[in-house]
Structure 1
Amino acid sequence: MVRQDENTKSVRFPEAVDERLTLLARKLGRTKREVVMQMVDYFYKSKKDPADLNDEVLKKELASGISRILSFIRKQEGDMLVPMYSAMEELMAIAKMQSPLLKSIGKGQSEATIMGRETIGYLKLVDGTLKKILGNMRERETLKSRFRQVLDYYITQREALGWPVSAAKKEELAGRARQSLDNL
């Protein structure tokens, strides 16, 4: 079977280029044939022009892309940011107009809070006073009850001793004493 060689094409170039190709191949650790094939693949895939050493085409494409991006940003700024800024200015104007109203509402609330605290203090004071009065009234009733017991004991003992006074006067005296005690 005869084997066909796929390497049928050849390229002719000057000896100075061959020296540079040889140095490049040694530096990369490849054969000259591999280096040439890889260079062709690189330029084919990257679509770079080998004559354009400073990548001027690439720079122009990048500049064009940047210009398109900047144009898009400016368009978005005009379409979105400017209306947002104007809406923000309107909101700020409304907030400034309502600021005194909010301050007066806040002042009224703080005054109401202070008055509420003062009222609570007064109510606590009244509550304490009422508790004292109620305690004094209970104490007064207790004293009246004890005094009535002492008076009743006195009346019983007086009658047991037999003072020579009429029964009607004794009852009248006891009734007045009880009435005076109730009036205390």
Structure 2
Amino acid sequence: MEDNGIKSIRYPVEADEKLAKLALKLGRSKKLLFMQMIDYFYKSKKDPADLNDELLKKELVNGVNRIISSIRRQESDFLLPLITDTAKLLQIALNNNKYLNGLSVYALDDEKKIKDIIYRMGLLDKAVSRIHTYYEEKALLKIRFRKIMEHYITQRETFGWPVSSAKKEELQSHVRQSLENL
């Protein structure tokens, strides 16, 4: 009994050994592996005699070219502007450092001047305080002297010296004015 759906092929023993090793490696039967090889070559339209496989090479080259093109596009779109902007930012930072160093020098100079001004203001405050104390002492002295003078005038009136009242008034106003001018 012969099955019409089965055909046989004769091939050398070396090819059978290679087919057996390949089938064992892939975990398939030789018959299944052979059928899959035929399907592969039929669908891919590759020539098994062409070991270099020009279609595969062409696809690989196209893939590599697409990858290189993508990398170049990313380089021009992202990397080059980033490098340019980084250089500009670095230059700005260097300029800002120079400016900040200059400001630091001015700040130190201003600090010295402010300390000097604070010292002088302290001296001025002490001087104003002394002057204020002197004015208070002068006013107190005038009040005491006025009391002494008023007491003197009152006592002189009680003694009754024979002096005209105009001369008394003139003496009193002169003494009071002299007291205010102290």
* Range into which the TM-score falls when normalised by the shorter chain: 0.5 to 0.7
Unaligned runs of at least 5 residues, structure 1: none
Unaligned runs of at least 5 residues, structure 2: none
Q: 2:19 aligns with which of 21, 34, 44?
A: 21
Separation in structure 2 between the aligned mates of residue 107 and residue 125 of structure 1, nearest angstrom:
27
Q: What's the offset of the Cα at 1:14? A: 1.9
Separation in structure 2 between the aligned mates of residue 179 and residue 158 of structure 1, nearest angstrom:
17
Q: 2:122 aligns with which of 112, 117, 128?
A: 128
> Which residue in the other structure is 1:36 paired with?
34
State how 1:145-160 maps to structure 2 within 5 Å.
Answer: 145-160=139-154
Structure-2-length-normalised TM-score: 0.52
> Which residue in the other structure is 1:139 paired with?
133
The number of equivalent residue pairs is 157
> Equivalent pairs: percent with the same residue?
25
**For the structure 1 residues 47 and 140, does the alpha-carbon distance in structure 2 shift closer, same or farther, using more than 3 Å as the test?**
farther
Q: What's the offset of the Cα at 1:158? A: 2.6
- Cα RMSD over matched residues? 4.8
Paired residues of 2:41 and 2:47 also in contact (CA < 8 A): yes
**For the structure 1 residues 44 and 151, does the alpha-carbon distance in structure 2 shift closer, same or farther, using more than 3 Å as the test?**
farther
State how 1:25-174 maps to structure 2 within 5 Å.
Answer: 25-44=23-42, 48-53=46-51, 55=52, 57=54, 60-61=57-58, 64-65=61-62, 68=65, 113=107, 116-117=110-111, 119-162=113-156, 167=168, 171=172, 174=175
State how 1:170-181 maps to structure 2 within 5 Å.
Answer: 171=172, 174-175=175-176, 177-181=178-182
Separation in structure 1 between the aligned mates of residue 32 and residue 109 of structure 2, nearest angstrom:
96
Q: State the SS of the aligned residue for 1:143.
A: helix
Separation in structure 2 between the aligned mates of residue 109 and residue 132 of structure 1, nearest angstrom:
34
**For the structure 1 residues 139 and 66, does the alpha-carbon distance in structure 2 shift closer, same or farther, using more than 3 Å as the test?**
same
**For the structure 1 residues 32 and 109, does the alpha-carbon distance in structure 2 shift closer, same or farther, using more than 3 Å as the test?**
closer
Structure-1-length-normalised TM-score: 0.52
Q: What's the offset of the Cα at 1:35? A: 1.1
Q: 1:15-61 CA deviation, whole Å, 9 max, x = no partner?
A: 513454345435544333211112223344555543345x4637743
Paired residues of 2:19 and 2:30 also in contact (CA < 8 A): yes
Q: What's the offset of the Cα at 1:124? A: 3.2
Q: State the SS of the aligned residue for 1:10.
A: coil
Q: What letter is aligned with 1:124?
A: I
Q: What letter is aligned with 2:32?
A: E
